[in-house]
Chains A and B, each alone.
Chain A
Amino acid sequence: MSAILQGGVASTALSPFKTTDSNKLVTAPSRSSLSVRSRSDWSKSFGSRLIARRSQPPLIPNAVATKKTDNAESSTSSKSGHELLLFEALQEGLEEEMDRDPHVCVMGEDVGHYGGSYKVTKGLADKFGDLRVLDTPICENAFTGMGIGAAMTGLRPVIEGMNMGFLLLAFNQISNNCGMLHYTSGGQFTIPVVIRGPGGVGRQLGAEHSQRLESYFQSIPGIQMVACSTPYNAKGLMKAAIRSENPVILFEHVLLYNLKESIPDEEYICNLEEAEMVRPGEHITILTYSRMRYHVMQAAKTLVNKGYDPEVIDIRSLKPFDLYTIGNSVKKTHRVLIVEECMRTGGIGASLTAAINENFHDYLDAPVMCLSSQDVPTPYAGTLEEWTVVQPAQIVTAVEQLCQ
């Protein structure tokens, strides 16, 4: 089993940035220096943010294009960035991609004249016109299908669901057409759509508007799923998703739209399949994504005071999992805690637990523990709602239990 793992690890070391010239393994050195990175207060992941490439291959490929000045893995804190909120970061990413490629268009409810229900598409309709920022009537099934049909001809639509829960109405289109057309047509058609929208438990929004659809979409073959959590990775993932030839579902969170952060001025994208190291540590690996990252970081403060050293990884890529980063971490700490907002049954945590157990069983000193939301419809009452979702206190208790 470990032999297979070695092989797997070796191949994944090369794979994420495999290009025509395979000696441009810019990330390889950074991956090996994983544990010596110093901590910083926001998400500095090792060089995955800003990767320079000397030459541009004809297809849109890999990582990021910076301007002529070559910044291999320099930290950007020396450069002046600009501060903005998460929804503004998404908007910036979207706008830059629309400027760059005329095939990119946005469709969704109230994205045009209204500016988007969470202001992600504000100002875009004035700039790009009604044909590129389309206000659709309320018919998720039809406009998702339309986006997919348009993508079959080469356009790159960004389909917005006003709330992720509404996309359940478009499930047939997403599952059968979006995910499967590349396969059933024998590779003739690619579907470069991005389906995005806010999901997750908000502030007393009620059961139907607090859904977490990651678990429903995760078994659709052919799609990629990513979840953003900071303005930095929101912009990066948005741009990467638009440039990707695969259909990507970008999960945003209703409560994270007003997060403020300073992001670099230059153009960058984030790798869609890579996880982010939020806080390196030694004692336990905590895997999380989206809003739970902040609960985990809050718990981490308490844990550090109590003498623990948790390693926090924001998995970001929900399908496929970045088992390379996760695996390295497990091999170091030997204990895993998964903290997620998804439902207990059949959620992302459940799949991740299975994947870790299958691949890294020999490295575990304790069973993988998974803290997820309760299997209940989200209640309206504030206190009850708090108890459906994982709270920092529960995370601290779980870590203490695992690290005994």
Chain B
Amino acid sequence: MALSRLSSRSTTLLHPLATTSLLRRRHISTDTTPLTVETSLPFTSHLISPPSRSVSTSSQELLSFFHDMALMRRMEIAADSLYKAKLIRGFCHLYDGQEAVAIGMEAAITKKDAIITSYRDHCTFLGRGGGLYEAFSELMGRKTGCSNGKGGSMHFYKKDASFYGGHGIVGAQAPLGCGLAFAQKYLKDEAVTFTLYGDGAANQGQLFEALNIAALWDLPAVLVCENNHYGMGTAEWRSAKSPAYFKRGDYVPGLKVDGMDALAVKQACKFAKEHALKNGPIILEMDTYRYHGHSMSDPGSTYRTRDEISGVRQVRDPIDRVRKLIISHDIATEKELKDMEKEVRKEVDEAVAQAKESPIPEPSELFTNIYVKGFGSESFGADRKELRATLP
């Protein structure tokens, strides 16, 4: 296998340090000497020549991938149990299985580049620098949540990290994302916008409208289709005549990426960013998979078999892939990784406990942030009287 070939080459470099790694992991985990790893699959491209399969990374980066993905996985599983305990209500769309997309993307871009996504946004929020406590508070509708408890699972935002949400209506974020790219071009930001949508949203007309405008005006927009093969309960082959989503841009170049391989995602995003800054929009299709159903109200097994889910989990799980890479490159041992996972679990549990204690929003919050107070007038309801906390 390609991996073992490479690892035998690189272990000659790492070997002297490998012996000390057993005693002090710290030594190697902060090592930033570049490693080169091949992606699991080659990139398939449309109207463009694909980037190379060799991704340069480092031990530190791989360990951070592992840690962050484990954190995301743990958070989603904690959200699952909170939902079943009825502390999270409404809709809760979980991202486990797709973590590599969020992590790989973050590794390739800066906080000035904007990301906008759909309602499956918990992990993207975390990737953009959001805190566990804010995320859980928001999920439970508390005041300390990232949207003050007023948004909920589908409306996570983080303005200072250029994370624009968090949108409930399928596909509505596509024109918004192109608008963000337009603003970046207008303000000469030298940044790009990653607009994420799913295979279900890929059939929305507004996506093609936005793509047309983006291509016409050369906007720095990267449209990322997170293809987890199911639009809620409808499989890809039943909803799209042409499931090659990366080719659907027609006149816009596209790239198909193995979305379960964080390094491939990183490579593709880096490539896409360079392309978008110079030549306008590009479509990335991330071939990924979600283990949970569409949302917590969907068992996820009525339209696909449990064997399929467990099969993907065994063969393509993103965290396992990185774990194997780390072990084969002797960056850390199995036990150290397990310890890291335990720490992550503890961190998540603490955040959940803290969030459970946090206060619910004041009743007067009902009327705040409807309008921006400005232009000399206060915002009232239609009867011009500002209602204060006199709710029954």
Contact = CB atoms under 8 A, between A and B. Distances in A.
A185 B172 contact: no
Interface in B355-379: 368-372, 374-379
B212 A150 contact: no
A152 B151 contact: no
Interface in B184-200: 184-187
Contact of A145 (B152, B175, B378): B175
5 contacts: A131-B185, A145-B174, A150-B183, A172-B172, A186-B148
Interface in A318-338: 319-324
Contact of B179 (A131, A145, A272): A145
Interface stretch (A54-62, A68-76, A208-216): A54-62
Contacts of A379: none
Contacts of B307: none
Most buried by A among B179, B210, B383: B179
A145 B176 contact: yes
Point out which of B175, B177, B206 has the most chain A C-beta atoms below 10 A from its C-beta: B175
Contacts of B180: 149-150, 152-153
Contacts, number: 204
Nearest to A136: B213
Contact of A359 (B179, B184, B217, B383): B383
A61 B374 contact: yes
A221 interface: yes
B150 interface: yes
A183 B376 contact: no
A240 B371 contact: no
Contact of B176 (A17, A146, A319, A322): A146
Given A61-B376, A63-B376, A154 B183 contact: yes
A172 B209 CA distance: 15
Contacts of A143: 175, 209, 213
B246 interface: no
Nearest to B143: A186
Contacts of A113: none
Given A105-B186, A172-B169, A320-B381, A146 B375 contact: no
Contact of A243 (B116, B151, B217, B375): B375
A137 B372 CA distance: 31
B382 A173 contact: no
Contacts of A7: 385
A355 B383 contact: yes
Interface stretch (A84-92, A187-195, A288-296): A187-195
Interface string A138-160: 01011111111111111100000
A324 B177 CA distance: 41
A184 B378 contact: no
Report which residue of B148, B149, B176, B217 has the largest number of chain A beta carbons within 10 angstroms of its beta carbon: B176
Nearest to A323: B384
Nearest to B206: A141
B329 interface: no
Contact of A186 (B146, B175, B372): B146
A374 interface: no
Interface residues of A, number: 71
Given A224-B371, A319-B382, A358-B383, A155 B186 contact: yes
A244 B375 contact: yes
A58 to B, nearest CB: 12
A146 B182 contact: yes
Interface string A1-17: 00010011001100111
B241 interface: no
Contacts of A145: 172, 174-176, 178-179, 206, 210
A271 interface: yes
A341 interface: no
B159 A139 contact: no
A321 B210 contact: no
A320 B368 CA distance: 16
A8 B383 CA distance: 9
Contact of B372 (A134, A190, A358): A190
Interface in A252-292: 271-273
A351 interface: yes
Contacts of B183: 149-150, 152-155
B377 A15 contact: yes
A240 B148 CA distance: 30
B382 A321 contact: yes
A340 B338 CA distance: 71
Interface string B192-232: 00000000000001100110110011000000000000000
B374 A149 contact: no
A18 B382 CA distance: 19
Given A224-B371, A359-B383, A183 B172 contact: no
Interface in A151-208: 151-155, 172-173, 176-177, 181-190
A246 interface: yes
Contacts of B212: 137, 139, 142
B186 A187 contact: no
B389 to A, nearest CB: 16
B176 A59 contact: no
B186 to A, nearest CB: 6
Contacts of B383: 8, 321, 323, 355, 358-359
B80 to A, nearest CB: 23
Contact of B209 (A139, A149, A154, A273): A139
B164 interface: yes
A222 B377 contact: no
Contacts of A141: 175, 205-206, 209
B157 A273 contact: no
B308 interface: no
Q: In this complex, which of A11, A148, A149, A176 has the most chain B Cβ atoms within 10 angstroms of its Cβ?
A: A149
Nearest to B155: A184
B213 A184 contact: no
Contacts of A221: 370
A105 B185 CA distance: 13
Contact of B175 (A60, A105, A144, A351): A144
A19 interface: yes
A185 B147 contact: yes
B167 interface: yes
Given A142-B175, A172-B169, A188 B206 contact: no
Contacts of B167: 176-177
Contacts of B146: 186
A309 interface: no
Contact of A18 (B147, B377, B381): B377
A170 B23 CA distance: 62
B212 to A, nearest CB: 6
B303 interface: no
Contact of B157 (A153, A154, A186, A190): A186
A386 interface: no
B165 interface: yes
Contacts of B377: 15-18, 271-273
A149 B157 contact: no
A245 interface: yes
B369 A187 contact: yes
